[in-house]
Structure 1
């Protein structure tokens, strides 16, 4: 078998995945719609009294996206935990690149599209209900989202983070045969704690007399006069370095996790 990516084999593997798991995917889609409807009814309709803000719906959307997404991603390679199914999947005539793309497609890309479609349908239904039955003839009001405000800035960053976290949980599902969601979450918490600790210690050791300012750029300030904090010496990254570092921090995580998964998948044995 040619190990180079073949779109014919890839499409066949995607069809095979759908034929074998279509009932599960359809049931999961209905469950997502039901859980989103329940969450919106409880946290947006019943808990509001006179002000229905559309931006709160998108915060519910993001919360559910990360919770449901990580659970679904942690099931990406769950079949490898079963000897019979795992051997059948590993010996299927397709490269591990095509197998990784198939799993990523179903457990990240397709999940995101289905979840977003369910949310938009639920949002349309509940907003229409609120406008017609709660707000009509009363002092209650519906506040549309302001995309130029906080949500417009947060949403793209959160979607990039979602892609990275999905890739991490796919990797965890390949490493851990059982309880991959719990184990991956614990590993992520430990790594995040170690990273924060090391950064904080490095800052204390190398920049003990400087203040850290976080904005559009990372800036270190040394105040020479404690009585006048308006006068200080500033150190910051150049725009090219700062923009490059920002792009790497935003976009590098998912490719790194997927690359590790690719190597691990090529070495996987049952």
Structure 2
């Protein structure tokens, strides 16, 4: 077999780069219209939100803190929905066989899911957010002094860029806190992905219901036991007390073990779908 001939290695082989590349190209060819349409809808919704915010606040409510709230709120909401729709085709009999019978291993399909949902979508979302926020910020900086009679301080009116160290310890959201939010995002995406693979119908909605139930039970447990909730996030807190081995172990369980198990559950559920 020549090197130019596409690989025909069986899916039982765990990984093959050429096969993974073919899988990624096929996925993009099939889903690019849906993905671009999804981003277009997000752009329209964000534009409406910006118009309402600037109109109600008279061009005041678009400082870096407001941008950060918009960014992470939108990232969590849209990232959850995007992840919940990734395996939509498996829920439909017409396309399920086509998706599951592709010449790729379960590991390759899982890895593509991780890249598309956990990496490429956040990058696309962040790019869209920055491209739309920057010109709006310039407009706010120009208009704010014109609408105010006194001297206006524009120190807080700068572009919020995720992962960029704005102001060090006095940042709107510290880099450490941002890392915690991203870990929570990836965990929520893995949770809904596992749910959509496990439930035959309305997987995203059922995963949301299960997640809400777990949240309520957790809150009740905290109230009954009087547990300190800040102990669960000391890794992401700048003013945390001394990190004891117990706190390190607890945070490792919450922020590394649990998300890892959720992504592993996605792999297991996808493997079970392949065997059905």
Which range, TM-score by smaller chain? 0.7 to 0.9
Q: Distance in 2 between matches of 1:97 and 1:60?
A: 35
Residue from 250, 257, 266 that aligns with 1:261: 266
Quote the residue 2:197 is aligned against. Answer: 174
Residue from 100, 103, 111 that aligns with 2:121: 111
Quote the residue 2:33 is aligned against. Answer: 23
What's the CA shift for 1:189?
1.0
Alignment of 1:58-137 (within 5 A): 58-136=68-146
Greater mean deviation of Cα atoms: 162-171 or 172-181: 172-181
Q: Does the residue aligned with 2:13 lie in a helix, a strand or coil?
A: coil
What's the CA shift for 1:48?
2.0
Quote the residue 2:207 is aligned against. Answer: 184
Q: Distance in 2 between matches of 1:126 and 1:51?
A: 12
What's the CA shift for 1:190?
1.2
Which TM-score applies when normalising by structure 1?
0.80
Q: Distance in 2 between matches of 1:260 and 1:239?
A: 30
Quote the residue 1:46 is aligned against. Answer: 55
Change (3 A) 1:261 1:50: closer
5+ residue gaps, structure 1: 204-210, 219-235
Give aligned pairs, total.
Answer: 244
Q: Does the residue aligned with 2:57 lie in a helix, a strand or coil?
A: coil
Q: Distance in 2 between matches of 1:137 and 1:194?
A: 49
- Are 2:213 and 1:193 aligned? no
What's the CA shift for 1:55?
0.9
Residue from 173, 176, 189 that aligns with 1:151: 173
Q: Does the residue aligned with 1:252 lie in a helix, a strand or coil?
A: helix
Kept in 2: contact 1:167–1:258 (CA 8 A): yes
Kept in 2: contact 1:40–1:60 (CA 8 A): no
Quote the residue 2:23 is aligned against. Answer: 13
Higher strand share: 1
Which TM-score applies when normalising by structure 2?
0.78
Change (3 A) 1:13 1:255: same
5+ residue gaps, structure 2: 1-9, 159-165, 234-240
Structure of greater Rg = 1
Q: Distance in 2 between matches of 1:135 and 1:254?
A: 46
Q: Which 4+ stretches in 1 moved above 6 angstroms?
A: none
- Deviations for 1:135-172, whole angstroms, at most 9, x for unmatched residues? 35744543246643352254332121111101111111
- Are 2:187 and 1:161 aligned? no
**RMSD, aligned CA:** 2.7
- Deviations for 1:212-242, whole angstroms, at most 9, x for unmatched residues? 5565689xxxxxxxxxxxxxxxxx9972332
Q: Distance in 2 between matches of 1:200 and 1:17?
A: 46
